Amino acid sequence: DYKGQKLAEQIFQGIILVSAIIGFIYGYITEQFGWTVYIHLDLHVLTSFLFSKLTLPPWPMYRRNPLKWLPVQESGTDDKKPADRKPKRHAKS
């Protein structure tokens, strides 16, 4: 479901954006750029871990628009014996 994948990606990007803003504000208040990086990276890793655990089960909100697959078609080459097939000719170079 492509719409479910898009929703999951938008949620993930929103959480990452919020973590960057939180890290920036805290780093600005403490006047330490290192804290900005640490907070953003920690929240990014935590979000990635939690988000992978939350999106692995087939939740209904991600399966609202299932894909319609083509029906299975039988191939006609299975009935022929190898001797009945014509050999392929390759162009000479």
List the pLDDT tens digit at each of the 93 positions of the chain: 677 778 878 888 888 888 889 889 999 999 998 988 888 888 888 888 877 776 667 777 767 777 788 888 887 655 555 556 666 666 665
Average model confidence (pLDDT) for the chain? 78
Count of C-beta atoms within a 10 Å radius of residue 60: 7
pTM, entire model:
0.55
Residues 6+ apart with CB under 8 A from 21: none
- For the chain, the domains span 2-56
In this predicted model, what pLDDT tens digit does every residue of 36-60 receive, in sequence order? Answer: 888 888 888 888 887 777 666 777 7
CB distance 16 to 47 below 8 Å: yes
